[in-house]
Amino acid sequence: MHSVYEIIVLKFQFRILSASFKSKKYSQNMEEGDLIFEIHHGGRFKNLNGLIYVGGDISIHGEGYDRDCMSFIEVESILKSYGYKRGDLVYYKQVGMNLDEGLVQIKIDPNVLKMIDCHKGVESVVLYTVS
């Protein structure tokens, strides 16, 4: 179990890594407009004066995905590499919002389309899984 201080340090380290990562080409096959996924997996949400995700790992799924061809099946396929099982809860975080205000559950294709629309002009989508 991580302390709040450790979580803050890990988030800071991840943001530095993420910023460095975003400045590089993600994949040999990635095209302009493709999406990259920052996946928080193996943890759960906890409310500590605001919602946080605890006890899990953060991974960058570096393979670009064409935003015009995304569906819930593709999201599930991406997440299977990170321990996702059918029936697990999947969420995305809306751009520029915190978890309390911007967390949206993905269950079906229209949710994925809303996620894609919410991320126009942005290269990465933050996903969360909860078993």
Residue 56 — very low, low, confident or very high, per pLDDT cuts 50/70/90?
very high
Burial 72-108 (b: 16+ CB within 10 A, else e): beebeebbeebebeeeeebbbbbeeeebeebbeebee
Reduce the DSSP state of residue 73 to 3 states and report it. helix
What whole-number distance in Å separates Cα of residue 19 and Cα of residue 2?
24
20, burial (CB in 10 Å: exposed 0-12, middle 13-18, buried 19+) = exposed
The CATH number of the domain covering residues in 4-130: 3.10.20.90
What whole-number distance in Å separates Cα of residue 105 and Cα of residue 36?
18
For residue range 81-96, what is the model confidence (pLDDT) as tens digits?
999 999 999 999 999 9
The more confidently predicted of residues 109 and 4 is 109
For residue range 19-38, what is the model confidence (pLDDT) as tens digits?
434 433 334 444 557 899 99
**What pTM value is reported for the model?**
0.76
The domain spans of the chain are 4-130
